[in-house]
Structure formats: structure tokens, C-alpha cells
């Protein structure tokens, strides 16, 4: 069995690689990072360490690397011959790799491969695989589209494991938190012959992806942007400050109330889920940079993303969302020179009126919410 995985970065090597490996897959990692690709090619294996007192090690072997910029044909061949295709490359990069995935699918069809497969986007976003499918479609013929309809699934997924930026002598070594969860929408899967161990196949992903994105990621981002507001460099330092912890708890109360109302999660169970998340953020064996968790602030301010969507929905349920608005105001102030989106956001704020920037970046049309954000941002 073989997998093609796009994105040999932190979560790609630190989680998706582990699961595919333990399920018996050889893995072609596709990336543009030459150091990582060369090392994968040379060594065909790498080590994962669990960031806990015991420091358990896992060896992932039968792996190699392909550079999509330098050897696109090899990537197309890999997609054409793999049993499963996965990505963990970042939502902004999905449109860039869509053409190669499309050409790989086209080649599968031309070679008469009728075995169903799945393309699973393991990104922090709602509807990631289906959004990728929309991009892939634009490169396909009618004949290819019929083939996709019959044999290629694009099941949405939710993946959860904190994997910080890695700074080791070995470029492939990756230290990860012990906790992990990977859920796939079974109704969108076509490769029914492949059921991965330690992956949950669910009949409705919506409650799970919303619970993950609006608890883990909204909470993580809250810790990061509030931490940046108080000049902290790491999540561990930030969460040790009561002001940050209180902001985190207030935000998770708001998204928790929304999730409980919307999806009927039992309150007690949800509170336990939140407690566990807060403990995960405090993991003393992990050092996670505020700048990683706060990365790409324009993306994180998106209409369906971790702040604006819960704000919009909390309002329709008549629930409080003021703590979320507080964080949105802090994101607008987030000034990190190494982050292209932060730089762009700060330039936009210099060139345009605040209301206009909020409308452009968030896609919001609700004037009440926009005014609440403007008022909060103005008072910071």
C-alpha cells in the first residue's frame, strides 16, 4: 500500500505520517523544502518523539521525498499509483497543488485504474477536502469528472495534534504532543476498502470539525494573540499569565455555549473537553511559539474561520460573543514583521478606514458586529 502526502512539515511528518505508517503504507512526501525532501530520500525513515515525561520514540520508515516544483511528473505518477492521497500543507497552499492532484487523477483514469481512492485534506478549515475538489475540478475534463464521481472521494477531515515548529539538528526529527485525533467524513469517502486504524470515520463531520476548530483553534489563537498583546513569545509563557488564561476561558465559554446549543454536546462532557485543551496548551514538554499559533492573521479572520463564524452564529442564537470580539480587536493589532499576512494587515490599516478593513478581511456585512469590533479596536 502506498500513500502520497502533500506537505512534509510538522503535522505531515508528526501525525499523518505516523498514522499512515502504522497502517502499513509506504509514503511519498511531496514538498518544496529541499532539506526535508533530500533527507527523506537519503534516509527513507525518520523519528517522532512524544513530548511527555516518558519520551516514547516512533520510527516511520518506507518514506521518500518528491519536490513538486522540480519534479512535477514524479508527483503526478505518485498520485496516479497511490492507494490514498492526503495533504497537510496549509489552506492557502491547497489551490497551488490542485493541478498536480488533478493530473494524477487523470493519469489514474487513463491507465484504467478503477480502484476507488480518497483525497483527504488534513487542514484546519471547514470543508477542506471539498474546497480542494472544487479547485481540482477546474483542471479536469468531463470524462475525468465522471471518473472522479465514481472512484475518487474527497472526504472532509478534522485533525488534532499540537506540533510546534521543530528546531533540531536532524531536519526530520519531530516532537509532538501525545494527544491526537483524526476524523474523516465517511459519507464522502469512496475508498471504503481502506479503513485506517486510529482514524474515526463519522457520518456527520460538522459537529466534530466545529468543536475542534472553535475550541482547540479558537482557544489556541486566543492564547497567542492575547499573549502577543502582553509581549509573550511562547504559548507556555502566555498561558501562565492570569490575564491570558482568563481571556482564554472567557472565549471557550462563549464558543462552548454555542457548540452546546447548536450540536447538543452534553455540557459536562464539553467542559471536560475544554479542561483537557487548556492542559494541552500548558504542556511543559512543548515550546510553541506565539508567532506559529498566530500565523496568517488574515486567514484566521476569515468569514468561516475560528473567530468570525462563532461570533456570527452566537449572535443568531442570542448568545454572548464579547470575549471573541476582544480577541478580534487584538488580531487587528497583531504586528509581526516575519508574518507576511500580519505585515499586509498592518499596511491595510494604514491605508484604509478600520471599518473597510474589517469588511474586506472578515467578509462581515452585519453592521452591529462590525461596529462592536471597531469600538473594541479603537479602545485598545
> Cα separation of 227 and 234, whole Å?
8
Residue 134 φ/ψ, nearest 5 degrees:
-60, -40
Contact 236, 282 (CB under 8 A): yes
**# binding residues, ligand 44H (CB under 6 A):** 9
Select the binding partner of residue 199 from ligand NAD, ligand 44H, none (C-beta < 5 to 8 A, by kind). Answer: none
Write down the least CB distance from residue 157 to ligand 44H, Å.
Answer: 12
CA distances from 369 to 55, 308, 316 (A): 46, 9, 11
Q: Tell me how far apart the alpha carbons of residues 88 and 10 are, in angstroms, rounded to a whole number.
A: 9
The binding track of 26-65 with respect to ligand NAD, each residue x by CB under 6 A or -, is -----xxx--------------------------------
| Helix H or strand E segment including 313 | helix 308-316
Task: Report the partner that residue 280 touches, choosing among ligand 44H, ligand NAD, none (CB closer than 5 to 8 A by kind).
Answer: none
- Least distance (Å) between residue 159 CB and ligand NAD: 5
Residue 19 CB, shortest distance to ligand NAD, in Å, is: 13
Residue whose cell numbers read 494527544: 179
Instruction: Answer yes or no: are the C-beta atoms of 370 and 332 closer than 8 Å.
Output: no
Q: How far is the CB of 160 from ligand 44H (least distance, A)?
A: 4
* Residue 184 engages ligand 44H in binding (rule: CB under 6 A): no
Q: Indicate the SS3 state at residue 302.
A: coil
β-bridge partners, 60 = 46
Closest CA to 378 of 361, 355, 360: 355
Binds ligand 44H by CB under 6 A, chosen from 160, 185, 257, 339: 160
Q: Is residue 309 part of the contact set for ligand 44H (CB under 6 A)?
A: no
Q: Is 17 annotated as a binding residue?
A: no
Considering only residues 155-184, where is the footprint of ligand NAD by CB under 6 A?
A: 159, 161-163
Task: Confirm or deny that 7 is annotated as ligand binding.
Answer: yes
Site residues (CB under 6 A) for ligand 44H, limited to 247-306: 293, 295
Residues 103 to 132 in contact with ligand 44H, rule: CB under 6 A: 124
Site for ligand NAD in 71-90 (CB under 6 A): 88-90
* Spatial separation of the C-alpha atoms in residues 218 and 305, rounded to whole Å: 9
The verdict on whether residue 8 carries a ligand-binding annotation is yes
The distance of closest approach from Cβ of residue 274 to ligand NAD in the complex, given in angstroms and rounded to an integer, is 18
**Is 211 one of the binding residues for ligand 44H (CB under 6 A)?**
no
Query: Contact with ligand NAD (CB under 6 A): which of 3, 4, 5, 9?
Result: 9
Which of 4, 5, 7, 109 touches ligand NAD by CB under 6 A? 7
Torsional class of 257: left (φ above 0), alpha (ψ -120 to 50), beta (otherwise): alpha
162 near ligand 44H, rule: CB under 6 A:
yes
d(CA 128, CA 277): 23
Task: Using DSSP bridges, classify how beta strands 45-50 and 26-31 pair: parallel, antiparallel or unpaired.
Answer: unpaired
Question: Per CB under 6 A, which region of 3-11, 191-199, 266-274, 352-360 contacts ligand NAD?
Answer: 3-11
Q: Which of 20, 66, 216, 357 binds ligand 44H (CB under 6 A)?
A: 216
Q: What are phi and psi of 105, to 5 degrees?
A: -65, -40
Q: Is 314 exposed, middle or buried (0-12, 13-18, 19+ CB in 10 A)?
A: buried
Coil, strand or helix at 171? coil
Q: Which residues bind ligand 44H (CB under 6 A)?
A: 124, 160-162, 216-217, 220, 293, 295
Binding-site residue numbers for NAD(+) are 3-14
Amino acid at each position: 500500500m502506498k500513500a502520497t502526502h502533500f506537505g512534509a512539515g510538522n503535522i505531515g511528518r508528526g501525525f499523518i505520517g505516523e498514522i499512515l505508517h502504522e497502517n502499513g503504507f509506504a509514503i511519498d512526501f511531496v514538498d518544496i523544502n529541499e532539506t526535508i525532501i533530500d533527507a527523506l530520500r537519503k534516509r527513507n525513515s525518520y523519528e517522532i518523539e512524544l513530548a511527555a515525561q516518558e519520551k516514547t520514540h516512533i520510527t516511520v520508515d518506507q518514506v521518500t521525498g518528491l519536490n513538486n516544483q522540480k519534479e512535477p511528473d514524479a508527483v503526478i505518477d505518485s498520485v496516479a499509483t497511490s492507494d490514498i492521497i492526503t495533504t497537510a500543507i496549509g489552506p492557502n497552499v491547497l489551490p497551488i497543488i490542485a493541478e498536480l492532484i488533478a493530473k494524477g487523477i487523470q493519469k489514474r483514469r487513463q491507465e484504467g485504474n478503477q480502484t476507488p481512492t480518497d483525497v483527504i485534506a488534513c487542514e484546519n478549515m471547514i470543508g477542506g477536502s471539498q474546497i480542494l475538489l472544487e479547485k481540482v475540478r477546474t483542471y479536469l475534463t468531463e470524462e475525468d469528472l465522471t471518473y472522479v464521481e465514481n472512484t475518487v472521494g474527497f472526504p472532509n477531515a478534522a485533525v488534532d495534534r499540537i506540533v510546534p515548529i521543530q528546531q533540531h539538528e536532524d531536519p526530520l526529527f519531530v516532537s509532538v504532543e501525545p494527544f491526537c485525533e483524526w476524523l474523516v467524513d465517511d459519507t464522502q469517502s469512496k475508498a471504503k476498502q481502506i479503513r485506517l486504524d486510529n482514524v474515526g470515520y463519522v457520518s456527520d463531520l460538522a459537529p466534530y470539525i466545529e468543536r475542534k476548530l472553535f475550541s482547540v483553534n479558537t482557544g489556541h489563537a486566543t492564547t497567542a494573540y492575547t499573549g502577543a498583546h502582553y509581549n509573550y513569545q511562547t504559548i507556555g509563557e502566555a498561558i501562565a499569565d492570569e490575564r491570558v488564561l482568563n481571556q482564554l476561558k472567557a472565549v471557550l465559554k462563549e464558543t462552548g455555549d454555542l457548540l452546546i446549543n447548536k450540536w447538543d454536546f452534553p455540557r459536562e462532557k464539553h467542559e471536560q473537553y475544554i479542561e483537557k485543551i487548556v492542559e494541552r496548551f500548558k504542556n511543559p514538554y512543548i515550546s510553541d511559539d506565539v508567532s506559529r499559533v498566530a500565523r496568517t492573521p488574515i486567514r484566521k479572520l476569515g468569514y468561516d474561520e475560528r473567530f468570525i463564524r462563532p461570533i456570527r452564529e452566537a449572535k443568531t442564537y442570542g448568545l454572548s460573543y464579547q470575549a471573541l470580539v476582544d480577541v478580534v480587536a487584538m488580531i487587528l493589532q497583531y504586528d509581526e514583521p516575519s508574518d507576511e499576512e500580519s505585515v499586509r494587515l498592518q499596511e491595510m490599516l494604514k491605508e484604509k478606514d478600520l471599518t473597510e478593513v474589517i469588511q474586506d478581511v472578515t467578509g462581515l456585512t452585519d453592521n452591529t458586529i462590525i461596529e462592536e469590533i471597531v469600538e473594541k479596536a479603537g479602545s485598545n
